[in-house]
Chains A and B, each alone.
Chain A
Amino acid sequence: MPKELWKGNEAIAEAAVRAGLEAYFGYPITPQTEILEYLSRRLPELGRAFVQAESELGAINMVYGAACAGVRVMSSSSSPGVSLMMEGLSYIAGTEIPAVLVNVMRGGPGLGNIAPAQADYNQAVRGGGHGDYPRIVLAPASVQEAIDLMALSFDLAEKYRMITMMILDGSVGQMMEPAEMPAMQEVHRKNFEWATNGAMNRERRILSSIYLNPLDEEQTNLRLLRRWQEVQNNEVRYKEYFLDDAEIIVIGFGTAGRVALSAVREARALGIKVGLFRPITVSPFPFEALSQLTGQARAFLVTEMNMGQMLDDVLLAVRGRVPVEFYGRPGGVVPFHDEILDEIQRIHTAPIASPLGTTVHTNPRESWLTRMTQRA
């Protein structure tokens, strides 16, 4: 297919339709509302289900119901709305059924603002809802990547009977870029052996997240964890840029990673051996790939549009073997490439005094906060 100019949110909606989306339930909230608006015309013209719900609580529970019926279903929202959906996500996880949720993140906490942010990383990656459950989280950095990850989201959700969340900051949702749409897939309703779609010529089925006997719930938790191990073994995705001889490795996801790539290119032009590692699955997080990079890197620089959430995962991967620095712009601020370039140069010209092979004790979040405070 030729490239066309697509707005991120509409591209996500159309990509979902082409991946066989049968039902969408949502609620307006900036900066994701175009997904809802687009699907409010697109799905009915295809004879598929669309409901503007009374709230995000309503929307996620409609998703829950349709997911129990075994169809491809999704919702989308933005940060405050996703908080409301956490109840439903926990139930969906406990019921072990597939569902897809897109979070076009904005500045917070609270009502915050409607500017692009990445502050819901922890909520998405650590779970957000109650109980102990894993979930897959994908983080696209461009309109094209969001399109490409949409079909994958459904495939992964169905393969592992798990929630797949796509988290992108508001800028990816709002910007227009040339992108290529995949071909339309036919709706193919899979005959899942668990779906509650009417007990015709078969034993009846029950779908619930209730396990009153703690020993049964424990087994369920362990089953979820074993399934998660499979996800960790098979589904880790990331992109590497200029890493071959990189001594400084920048790590960023989504838009923060994309801005960092510009900074890395400029630093390369200045002769600095720097590369970029951009996780695409932030859950499962690419711990192993990052761990291996500690062998070649002199320092890591984590860039995020928050106060350092993925930073904790990087620190877990690095385990003190290499100094880790952090640069974040929280609250709905998108960093400029020259800010990240300054950070790269700072690390390059004033190397952190910790030889390889020893444990690093500096706290990158605290030193970043000090620099931010001095700058203000």
Chain B
Amino acid sequence: MTTPNLVYERPEAFTEMPTHYCPGCTHGVAHRLVAEVLEEMKIIDRTIGVAPVGCAVFAYNYFDTDFVEAPHGRAPAMATGIKRVLPDRVVFTYQGDGDLASIGMGEIVHAAARGENITVIFINNANFGMTGGQMAPTTLPGMKTTSSPNGRDVETQGYPIKVSEMLSTLEGVGYCVRRSLHDPKNIRLAKKAIRTAFETQVRGLGFSMVELLSTCPTNWGITPVNSLKFVEEHMVPAYPLGDYKISDAIKQIKI
């Protein structure tokens, strides 16, 4: 039943399960955007999701699609296995920065290089959330985490990895963009990107990934509102938003 003034309801692609995410975390927003896209594209019943290890480990509880749960970092390999035997299905991974950019760097790079026709939703919140806020490859220089208590020292702990920039150099990549979830305007842009990424897959146009700058108020130790500001003021300058690769065929897609 629809009410005339209804502006917000649970997407069909969601189950009834309330999420376990912390207050102010943008995982919920990212989940919702994916769910809305699956619903709009009418692909819920032919989508198979691959959950990571990390805060989104229970993603399979929230999306009303078939789902598998990968070992830490291996989601792109599992997605490859599924997609290669079920090429007419839609396969996506949902991975954090510890999962994708640290332990799973081999799997993501090679899935992208092979041009696997899968979609990757990459949540970059600059730390390992689930294990309590340790340094990730994406942690900003000087940023304090439980395993870089004096701030990330690039002399000994190296520099952040810019995944979108890196993957965009690979021929197999069709669509690779970075968006942010820190305000409504950027959330709208993020949704459009997620839609384009799934459109890339259903048209067989190669590997697609959307990197989403996200918050982690609990482990950052700041309020949800200040977390959004932190993304805008510190994450966006370090991880510039933009289209890192959009193949010509994908540019033609009208949404």
The answer to whether residues A204 and B74 also contact, given A25-B81, A197-B89, A198-B86 and a CB cut-off of 8 A, is no
A66 and B70 contacting across the interface, CB-CB below 8 Å? no
Contact indicator per residue, chain B 35-75, by CB within 8 Å of chain A (1) or not (0)? 00000000011111011000001001000111111110010
The answer, yes or no, to whether B80 is at the interface (CB within 8 Å) is: yes
B67 and A206 contacting across the interface, CB-CB below 8 Å? yes
The answer, yes or no, to whether A57 is at the interface (CB within 8 Å) is: yes
B85 and A69 contacting across the interface, CB-CB below 8 Å? yes
Q: Interface range on chain A: under 10, 10 to 19, 20 to 34, or 35 or more? A: 35 or more
B89 and A57 contacting across the interface, CB-CB below 8 Å? no
B80 and A65 contacting across the interface, CB-CB below 8 Å? yes
- Taken together as a complex, chains A and B put the C-alpha atoms of A201 and B46 apart, in Å, by 10
- Taken together as a complex, chains A and B put the C-alpha atoms of A177 and B65 apart, in Å, by 49
B79 and A65 contacting across the interface, CB-CB below 8 Å? yes
B81 and A206 contacting across the interface, CB-CB below 8 Å? no
The answer to whether residues A206 and B78 also contact, given A49-B85, A54-B110, A58-B107 and a CB cut-off of 8 A, is no
The answer, yes or no, to whether B143 is at the interface (CB within 8 Å) is: no
B66 and A205 contacting across the interface, CB-CB below 8 Å? yes
A61 and B66 contacting across the interface, CB-CB below 8 Å? no
- Taken together as a complex, chains A and B put the C-alpha atoms of A297 and B143 apart, in Å, by 71
Residue numbers in B under 8 Å from A58 (CB-CB)? 74, 77, 80, 106-107, 110
- Taken together as a complex, chains A and B put the C-alpha atoms of A22 and B81 apart, in Å, by 11
B84 and A51 contacting across the interface, CB-CB below 8 Å? yes
A198 and B68 contacting across the interface, CB-CB below 8 Å? no
- Taken together as a complex, chains A and B put the C-alpha atoms of A197 and B49 apart, in Å, by 10
Residue numbers in B under 8 Å from A205 (CB-CB)? 66-67
The answer, yes or no, to whether A133 is at the interface (CB within 8 Å) is: no
Residue numbers in A under 8 Å from B78 (CB-CB)? 61-62, 64-65, 68
Residue numbers in A under 8 Å from B70 (CB-CB)? 61, 64-65
Residue numbers in B under 8 Å from A73 (CB-CB)? 81, 85
- Taken together as a complex, chains A and B put the C-alpha atoms of A71 and B89 apart, in Å, by 14
Contact indicator per residue, chain B 76-117, by CB within 8 Å of chain A (1) or not (0)? 011111111110010000000000000000110110001000
- Taken together as a complex, chains A and B put the C-alpha atoms of A69 and B46 apart, in Å, by 12
Quick check: which of A207-215, A216-224, A254-262, A360-368 contacts chain B, the rest being far away?
A207-215
Q: How far apart are A6's CB and chain B's nearest CB, in angstroms? A: 27
B67 and A61 contacting across the interface, CB-CB below 8 Å? no
The answer to whether residues A198 and B80 also contact, given A54-B106, A57-B107, A204-B65 and a CB cut-off of 8 A, is no
A65 and B50 contacting across the interface, CB-CB below 8 Å? yes
A199 and B107 contacting across the interface, CB-CB below 8 Å? no
- Taken together as a complex, chains A and B put the C-alpha atoms of A61 and B85 apart, in Å, by 14
Interface-central residue, A54, A61, A67, A210, by most chain B CB under 10 Å: A61
Residue pairs across A and B with CB atoms within 8 Å: the count is 128
Cβ 8 A contact of A87, one of B68, B69, B71:
B71
Residue numbers in A under 8 Å from B51 (CB-CB)? 208
B75 to A, closest residue via Cβ: A61
- Taken together as a complex, chains A and B put the C-alpha atoms of A91 and B80 apart, in Å, by 17
- Taken together as a complex, chains A and B put the C-alpha atoms of A58 and B70 apart, in Å, by 12
A68 and B80 contacting across the interface, CB-CB below 8 Å? no
A196 and B81 contacting across the interface, CB-CB below 8 Å? no
Report the count of interface residues on B (CB-CB < 8 A): 34
Residue numbers in B under 8 Å from A88 (CB-CB)? 71, 74
Residue numbers in B under 8 Å from A69 (CB-CB)? 48, 81-82, 85-86
The answer, yes or no, to whether A354 is at the interface (CB within 8 Å) is: no
Q: How far apart are A43's CB and chain B's nearest CB, in angstroms? A: 10
The answer to whether residues A206 and B80 also contact, given A54-B106, A55-B106 and a CB cut-off of 8 A, is no
The answer, yes or no, to whether A53 is at the interface (CB within 8 Å) is: yes
B47 to A, closest residue via Cβ: A198
A208 and B60 contacting across the interface, CB-CB below 8 Å? yes
B90 to A, closest residue via Cβ: A198
Q: How far apart are B101's CB and chain A's nearest CB, in angstroms? A: 16
A208 to B, closest residue via Cβ: B69
Q: How far apart are A12's CB and chain B's nearest CB, in angstroms? A: 20
Residue numbers in A under 8 Å from B60 (CB-CB)? 206, 208
A57 and B74 contacting across the interface, CB-CB below 8 Å? yes
B77 and A196 contacting across the interface, CB-CB below 8 Å? no
A65 and B89 contacting across the interface, CB-CB below 8 Å? no
B74 and A198 contacting across the interface, CB-CB below 8 Å? no
The answer to whether residues A57 and B77 also contact, given A69-B82, A208-B68 and a CB cut-off of 8 A, is yes
Interface-central residue, B79, B81, B107, B109, by most chain A CB under 10 Å: B81
Within 8 A of B (CB), among A78-126: 87-88, 91, 95
A62 and B81 contacting across the interface, CB-CB below 8 Å? yes
B85 and A71 contacting across the interface, CB-CB below 8 Å? yes
The answer, yes or no, to whether A162 is at the interface (CB within 8 Å) is: no
- Taken together as a complex, chains A and B put the C-alpha atoms of A95 and B60 apart, in Å, by 14
The answer, yes or no, to whether A264 is at the interface (CB within 8 Å) is: no
Residue numbers in A under 8 Å from B85 (CB-CB)? 22-23, 49, 66, 69, 71, 73
- Taken together as a complex, chains A and B put the C-alpha atoms of A91 and B213 apart, in Å, by 30
Residue numbers in A under 8 Å from B77 (CB-CB)? 53, 57-59, 61-62, 64-65
A72 to B, closest residue via Cβ: B85
> What 9 A-B pairs have minimum CB-CB distances, sorted nearest first?
A65-B81, A208-B69, A61-B77, A65-B78, A54-B110, A62-B81, A66-B81, A61-B74, A49-B84
* A-B CB contact pairs (8 Å), 17 listed: A23-B84, A51-B114, A58-B107, A59-B77, A61-B70, A62-B78, A62-B84, A64-B68, A64-B78, A64-B81, A65-B77, A87-B71, A87-B74, A197-B66, A204-B64, A204-B67, A205-B66
Interface residues of B (CB under 8 A from A): 44-48, 50-51, 57, 60, 64-71, 74, 77-86, 89, 106-107, 109-110, 114
A25-B80, A54-B109, A210-B69 provided; 13 other pairs, C-beta below 8 A? A23-B81, A53-B110, A64-B68, A64-B78, A64-B81, A65-B50, A197-B89, A199-B44, A199-B45, A199-B65, A199-B66, A204-B65, A208-B60
